[in-house]
Amino acid sequence: MLSNERGTLYVVATPIGNLADISQRARQTLAEVDLVAAEDTRHSGRLLAALGINSPMLALHEHNETALLGQIMQRLDGGQCIALISDAGTPLISDPGFALVRELRRQGYAVVPIPGANAAITALSAAGLATDRFLFLGFPPRTGPARRRLFEQLATETATLVFYESCHRLQDCLRDMQLGFGPQRRAILARELTKLHETFIDAPLAQLVERVSEDADQRRGEMVLLLEGNTDQPADPKAQDAERVLKILLQELPLKQAASLASGITGLRRNDLYQLGLEQKTEDRGQRTEDGRQKTDFCVAARQIK
């Protein structure tokens, strides 16, 4: 691959467990480049050997990535092509390579992705959670207080949440998730993806915590944790305001008049306010509404009053 032009850095995804997931393009690229920069040359050496590839290798990991920048650029300047791989999956995704790719792009070098496996996307693709919006958060902090703070901050997030976690921290992490997101939040533990013991457990956090503590097998191997986004309806400030106004007026006026006045004050429909007033009165009497509900909560009221 030597030429007068600058060489290219190929960012090559490798399998996350099942060797058959290597793409034809990845195979060809790894075989043809002048150098394979790998996170762990011993680990990736086994992959290359299994693929019958004997390209030269260089160790590039988080501790030497910046120090190797000069050498990599020199090689690219000399026309060499280089493949960047990590231990598994897509480089840069919770793996080394970001500093290198950012600098090469900044300096106008060609960086070409060779796509393939990624644990987060693989888990998402089969978990059955919403995929239209998701937030990938990599590994949560290792210490309890920082982890709990993060989960508290994420509690109202409506997008599906995707985390990587190590088997050693799984139980602590799940317990903190239960504190931050509540015991009923739907969670999925996607384990050993593409491997023999691939497992998906789909349960509310409280049940998942129990299941994982009872069954040591669920704490083994590699895992992705996914949480359904917050599905609570946000409180509508306009509806809350109307409810408050109506409540005050109802203390002095008959319902019809109170609804009419509240409509004038808030700009919401009189009929909707009348209905809300009826429900407030029922609630105040501690009775159930006809369909058996105790009360109309803010969210339902917000949806009704349009």
Does 94 bind ligand SAM (CB under 6 A)? Our answer is yes
Using CB under 6 A, which of the segments 53-61, 81-89, 177-185, 269-277 binds ligand SAM? 81-89
Task: Tell the smallest beta-carbon distance from residue 93 to ligand SAM (Å).
Answer: 4
Q: Residues touching ligand SAM: how many (CB under 6 A)?
A: 24
Please state, in angstroms and rounded to a whole number, the distance separating the CA atoms of residues 135 and 229: 9
Residue 246 near residue 275 (C-beta atoms within 8 A): no
Nearer Cβ to ligand SAM (86/266): 86
Query: Quick check: 199 binds ligand SAM (CB under 6 A)?
Result: no
User: Backbone phi, then psi, for 173, in 5-degree steps?
Assistant: -65, -45
Amino acid making up residue 267: G
CA 261 from chain center: how many Å?
47
Minimum distance, C-beta of residue 89 to ligand SAM, in the bound complex (Å)? 2
- Considering the rule CB under 6 A, would residue 114 count as an interface residue with ligand SAM? no
Shortest distance in whole angstroms from residue 224 CB to ligand SAM: 5
CB of 268 to ligand SAM, least distance (A): 49
- The residue from 9, 11, 12, 16 that contacts ligand SAM (CB under 6 A) is 16
Q: What six digits make up the tokens of 140?
A: 């949560």
Identity of the amino acid at 270? R
Site for ligand SAM contains 9 (CB under 6 A): no
CB of 185 or CB of 191, closer to ligand SAM: 191
The sheet with strand 82-85 has its strands ordered as 57-59, 35-38, 82-85, 8-12, 110-114
- The reply on whether position 86 binds ligand SAM by CB under 6 A is yes
Buried-exposed string 121-134: b where 16+ CB fall within 10 A, e elsewhere: bbbbeebebeeeeb
Closest to ligand SAM by CB, 225 vs 249, is: 225
Q: Which two tokens stand for residue 253?
A: 């006026």
- Positive or negative, the Cα torsion across 185, 197, 118, 145? positive
Using CB under 6 A as the binding rule, whether residue 21 contacts ligand SAM is answered as no
Asked if 125 is part of the footprint of ligand SAM (rule: CB under 6 A), the reply reads no
90 is a contact residue toward ligand SAM (CB under 6 A): yes
**Of these, 166, 257, 289, 294, which contacts ligand SAM (CB under 6 A)?**
166
Q: Is the CB of residue 236 less than 8 Å from the CB of residue 300?
A: no
**Segment lying near ligand SAM (by CB under 6 A), choices 62-70, 107-115, 116-124, 148-156:** 116-124
Burial-class residue 117 by CB neighbours within 10 Å (0-12, 13-18, 19+): buried
**Among residues 217 and 297, whose Cβ is nearest to ligand SAM?**
217
Contact stretch for ligand SAM (CB under 6 A) within 40-48, 114-122, 141-149, 289-297: 114-122
**Site membership for ligand SAM, residue 245 (CB under 6 A):** no
For 49-67, what is the HEC assignment?
HHCCCCCCEEECCCCCCCC
Structural contact between residues 58 and 41, judged by C-beta atoms closer than 8 angstroms: yes
Angle 62-49-194 from CA coordinates, rounded to 5°: 70
Site residues for ligand SAM per CB under 6 A: 16-17, 86, 88-90, 93-95, 118-120, 164-166, 190-195, 222-224
